[in-house]
Copies of this chain bind each other. A is one copy, B any other.
Amino acid sequence: MLRLSPPNFKRFTQARSFDVIYGGGEANVAVSLANFGLPVEFITRLPNNDLGLACIQYLRQYGVNTEKIIMGGERIGIYFLEVGASARASKVIYDRDNSAIATATPDMFDWEQNFEGVSWFHWTGITPAISQNLADICLDALQVAKSKNITISCDLNYRSKLWKYGKKPIDIMPKLVSFCDIAIGNEEDAEKVLGIKAPAIDVTSGKIDSSKYETVVKEISQKYPNLKYIAITLRGSLSASHNTWSGILYDKKRTYFAPHYDIAYIIDRVGGGDSFAAGLIYGLQNFENTPQKALNFAVASSCLKHTIFGDFNLVSVDEVLKIMKGDLSGRVSR
């Protein structure tokens, strides 16, 4: 997607220019993983015009393989982002109807071929929210992935402004999630996507009680025994400029709790959840028998994301490890 945002905290009506980047849930995960040094392929559909090309180039610079992206369709999806500050919330205007990906049909994707040599598949709940075709495409992909013993991770990613084609997440997502090995969500996703109500918590207080979510992950685990790992991100929203951030991870044996980070000056919070997903995928692959470390890597990684302009988490593994070791001092090394 093309993201257009007024610079310097300006409102939409004040803007005489928009900052231009390209991003979106799955793309953000792909770039983050490529930054961590993993080989990554990203599959989507983009229009065969200069904006589609610009999007491909934008992804490619970070090392994401874009060769399997399908060119076609009428337009690139757009979202307009007004960046908030203090008490003023960020605002998003979606303009993604009839985008190249929204009008994709199952026959465009050859999953047998796409998954050749692939060991991990990540998708998010945004895709099946767009159209029945995309829900079907997801199902196709998941079935093929499963058949090839590919590890599957899913970010539930509930978006209330999507799901306009007559289905609700609860109609679609449970089946798709049943193919997955790892599920990631926040307190809202569990309820809206899987129908599992989280305990009432004041997310605006800045003090999210991680322990209250333990029942949620256990309930999810019971309903979806296929899930080897269930992770919940915990965002405390003190203001648009000041958040806290943490997460928990459940591996069917025990629940792991991450440290809470205080992010007192946020540069860009979009892509925070995606950077958590990427961090977790990296962590589960690289710190295999230490779920605590994988979780901590995911949380530290997304803590850093909040300091980086754009959707993408442009940090290296070393930078994340430094945060994990507790150095948030921001001291210049020289």
List residues of chain A with CB under 8 Å of any chain B CB: 4, 7-21, 49-51, 53-54, 57-58, 60-63, 74-75, 78, 80, 82, 84-95, 97-98, 159-161, 203-204, 237-242, 261, 263-267, 269-270, 303-304, 306-310, 314-315, 319, 323, 326-334
Contact = CB atoms under 8 A, between A and B. Distances in A.
A51 B93 CA distance: 9
Contacts of A93: 49-51
B12 A50 contact: yes
A303 B85 CA distance: 11
A330 B90 contact: yes
A57 B62 contact: yes
Q: How many copies does the complex hold?
A: 6
A301 to B, nearest CB: 11
A238 B261 CA distance: 12
Contact of A9 (B13, B90, B92, B307): B307
Given A12-B50, A61-B61, A267 B85 contact: yes
B314 A265 contact: no
9 contacts: A18-B18, A49-B93, A50-B80, A86-B306, A86-B307, A237-B331, A238-B328, A239-B329, A239-B330
Nearest to A309: B10
Given A60-B61, A242-B264, A88 B17 contact: no
